[in-house]
Amino acid sequence: MGQILQMNVGFLGLQFSFGLQQSSMGPIYSYLGADEASLPLLSLAGPVTGLLVQPIVGAMSDRTASRWGRRTPYFLIGAILCSLSLFAMPYSSALWMAASLLWILDAANNITMEPYRAYVGDRLPKDQHPAGYIIQSAFTGLAQTLAYLSPALLVWLGMSKDAVGGNHIPQFIFWSFMFGALISVTTIFWSIWRVPELPLTPEQLTRIQAQKQGFGATLREIWDAIKEMPVPMRQMAWMKLFQWMAMGWYWQYVTYAISRSLFGTSDAGSEGFRDAVLINSQVGAFFNVVSFITALFMVRYTQRFGAAKVHAFCLVMSGLGMLLLPHLTAEVVAAWWPASMASLMPKLASEYWLFLPAVGVGLGWASIMGNPYVMLARSVPPERTGVYMGIFNMFIVIPLMLGGFIVSQLYNRVFAGDPRYVLMTAGVLMLLAALATLRVKVPEGDVPAMAPAGAGH
């Protein structure tokens, strides 16, 4: 267990970067002059780079036999680029600069992400896959807790919430990105140092050397893997479509929904909007604490009841949380909360009630970052783990891209320019994802090795 924990420390740094994107990129765009309807399009960097980078890097890492290992070279390249992008982001002076840096940052994260997933599959026997991937989920929760909470922590430590730079970006966001730049690279290096990759066996080395190399061969391997995709993996496509569209909408619009519900404002330059950013940092930190804690306990339930059933339950709880959150306005909470208690504890009559739906969102996030990978690892042949992990990421980025395009087109016409309606629709999508999960049939025994791409079946 000590090795499993240390090999996943690097995932903490990687997910800290993602947490900063989820909590702060929307406000950064708004500080630089973006309108709310354009936020999903400005956030397409992650889905597009993931769609292009992860399958290619996955197939390449499956075929890599360097002196440093199969996955390690990609860890190092991605970690260094990620840290440099995080360092530069709060210096953005225009919308195009922030958007360009996000493209580089997401490409770097994706270079690291897929080989990291495959590394866990390489390093652990199948009976330890649930522990490996759920611990990875726990580190996701811990990292994103720190990422979400860092702005509020800085304000609690004495930094003024109204202190902004010349580009209107608050200082609490500036220093959060500086810390992210440091933690991203150091944690990756720690995991590589403490738990290096296993050396390739003679059989693995012979198989890699026998494969055709080059970019064209890599693309053919991806295409062959898609054609030969195991049935359970195909069945997970609908589940992934609904759950990732919902998560994308939640990340993009939760701050704006809180700003409307509690402060009645959509002005990014207002004090109320800055308060909403800080409140979302606390709520986001809380749901990631929930994610971290529940992920630690989720291993036993996944082993007992199966990953699919546990995942469906967690998605239902997440959907209910997203449906509830937009309704927690100051007026509604005041009706529930006795006036005598509100005078004693006024905070509980407003933003702290948002922690209730955050419990459901945290349960769903813990499962999303763990259980689908348990299901996948049991469904694909081990010699093609890298390419299938990369293809599986397409089941994330395509829904994020599709969802971003849909909400940008419907935001003013269907959702009436109100982010609260977007969050409620995301809750419905989570419930549909839970139903789709129950259709997935995960094999119980070991998965047989597949024939090499291009060979007879």
Closest listed residue to residue 399, CA positions, set 284, 239, 254, 288:
239
Dihedral of alpha carbons 125, 130, 131, 135, sign: positive
Say whether pLDDT at 169 is over 80.
yes
Q: Per-residue confidence at 214, pLDDT binned at 50, 70, 90?
A: low
Query: pLDDT, tens digit, for every residue of 38-79?
Result: 888 887 776 777 777 777 777 777 777 777 777 888 888 888
Kindly state the average pLDDT of the residues 89-117.
87
Query: pLDDT, tens digit, for every residue of 174-206?
Result: 999 999 999 988 998 888 888 877 777 777 777
Angle between helix 9-31 and helix 231-263 axes, rounded to 10 deg = 50
Query: pLDDT, tens digit, for every residue of 220-233?
Result: 777 887 887 888 88
The pTM is what?
0.72
Closest listed residue to residue 202, CA positions, set 74, 71, 72, 65:
65
47-64 in b/e form (b: 16+ CB < 10 A) is: bbbbbebbbbbbbbbbbb
The per-residue pLDDT for 383 is 66
Say whether pLDDT at 411 is over 80.
yes
Range from 99-108, 311-320, 445-454 carrying the lowest mean pLDDT: 445-454
Closest listed residue to residue 200, CA positions, set 446, 382, 373:
382
Query: pLDDT, tens digit, for every residue of 416-432?
Result: 999 999 999 999 999 99
